[in-house]
Structure 1
Amino acid sequence: MRRAGAAGEPVPAEVAAAWAKVFMEQLYGMQKPVRYECRRRGSNDPWEEAEPGDVTHPRRRGLVIRALYLHPPVAKQQHRWPPGSNGQGHCLDCDEAQWLAAPECRPHAPIRDHRSAMPFRITWVIEPLEKLHYLAKHLNPFDRDKWRKEATYLIDRIRDHEKGSQP
C-alpha cells in the first residue's frame, strides 16, 4: 500500500477494498461493533447513537455512520435462535436481530434493581407518616383532609414499592 501510494500510481477499487477487508479483519477480527453512531453529512454536530434504520439506510437519510469496536475480541459464544425463525427472529440470549447479528453472541448483563441499594429502608418512613396522619386531627378541616390523603397515598406507595422489590 505504501509503495503504491508513494509512487502516485492509481490503485483499482477492488484492490483497495481487499486491503481494507484484510486490515479490518486483522485489526478487529470477526467482532461486531459495540455501537453505531451517526450525524448529518457535512455537519460538525456531536455523534449520536444510530437507530437501526439509520444504519441500514444512511444515504437516504443523509447521514454519516461510524461503527465503534472493542479490541481484542472476546471469547465467542453461539447465538440461539427460536425454532422456525427463518432469518426473521431475535437471539434468545442477546436479543440481536438475526439479519444483523455478529458471528458471536454477547448477552446483556442482568439489570440491577437499584431499589435494593438505598442507604436506608424506605419502610422506616411509614411510622412518621402514620404519626402525621394521627396528628392531622389538630388541624383545620381543609388541612386535615389534605395531609391525611397525602400521608395515606405515600404509605400505600411505599408498601407497593416494597412488594415490588422483594425477590
Structure 2
Amino acid sequence: MAEAPTVASTVRDMRRAGAASEPVPAAVVQVWAQTLLTQLYGTQKPVRYECKPRHSTEPWRPAEMGEVTHYRRRKLELRALYLHPPAGKHKDHRWPAGSNGQGKCLDCGETEWLAGPDCRPFAPIRDHRSDTPFSLTWLIEPLEKLQYLTKHMNPLDRAKWRTETTYLIDRIKDHAKGSQP
C-alpha cells in the first residue's frame, strides 16, 4: 500500500519535473496542489478573509460576512488567509451561550463564522508614557510664568487665569506634600 504523499515528496517531484523541462499533465499538477493544500492547511478554517474590488489596485481590507458569501455578485476579489496554530499552544474559542453561530468569542472577539482554528486574544496595549518619569511639581514653574504673563490680558481674562493658575499651583503643592514620605 502506497503512503500518502508529503510536502517534501511533492516539492521533490515538482523540482524533478522542472529540471526535466517537459510538460506536466494537468492531473499530476492537481495531485500536487491537493497534496500541498491538505498537508499545509489541513481542514482548518481560514483565519480571516480579505477582499478588494476586482481589477483595482486598492489595498486588501477585511471582508464582512456578506462580502464573503456574495463576493462574485459584488464584483470583489476574495482571499482566505490561513495560519497554522503553534504546536502545543492550541486554545479553543469561548462562545456566548445561545449565540447560534452569530456570536463573538469572549476572549479574542472574532465572530463565530469567521474564527480561525484557535483563540488568540490580543495583548493589552501598553502605554509607554508611563515609562518616562514625571513629577507634577514640574508644572509649577510654567504655571507661575503663565500667572506672570496675565498682566498683558484684559481684566476679565486676567482674573480668570490668575484664579486658575493659583488653584492649580496650590493643588500641586498639596499633592507634593502628601506624597512625600
Decide: shared fold, TM above 0.5: yes
Identical amino acids, percent of aligned pairs: 43
Displacement, 1:55? 3.2
- Structure-to-structure mapping, 1:85-124, within 5 angstroms: 85-117=99-131, 119-121=132-134, 123=136
Displacement, 1:80? 1.0
Q: Deviations over 1:21-80 (max 9, x none)?
A: 54323123455545543322122x14232232433432232111223344x531311111
Alpha-carbon separation, structure 2, partners of 1:100 and 1:56: 12
| CA 1:39–1:133: 2 relative to 1, 3 Å | same
- Single out whichever of 140-149 and 121-130 deviates more from structure 2: 140-149
Of 83, 91, 94 in structure 1, the residue corresponding to residue 97 of structure 2 is 83
Alpha-carbon separation, structure 2, partners of 1:34 and 1:99: 10
Alpha-carbon separation, structure 1, partners of 2:135 and 2:45: 42
Displacement, 1:143? 9.8
Partner of 1:50: 62
Displacement, 1:97? 1.1
| CA 1:78–1:87: 2 relative to 1, 3 Å | same
Partner of 1:25: 38
Are the counterparts in 2 of residues 35 and 49 from structure 1 also a CA contact under 8 Å? no
Q: TM-score, normalising length from structure 2?
A: 0.58
Alpha-carbon separation, structure 1, partners of 2:95 and 2:52: 33
Are the counterparts in 1 of residues 96 and 104 from structure 2 also a CA contact under 8 Å? yes
1:6 and 2:33 correspond: no
Of 77, 91, 113 in structure 2, the residue corresponding to residue 64 of structure 1 is 77
For the pair shown, which has the larger CA radius of gyration, 1 or 2? Answer: 2
1:129 and 2:142 correspond: yes
Are the counterparts in 2 of residues 78 and 105 from structure 1 also a CA contact under 8 Å? yes
Are the counterparts in 2 of residues 79 and 91 from structure 1 also a CA contact under 8 Å? yes
Query: Which secondary structure state, in structure 1, belongs to the residue aligned with residue 97 of structure 2?
Result: coil
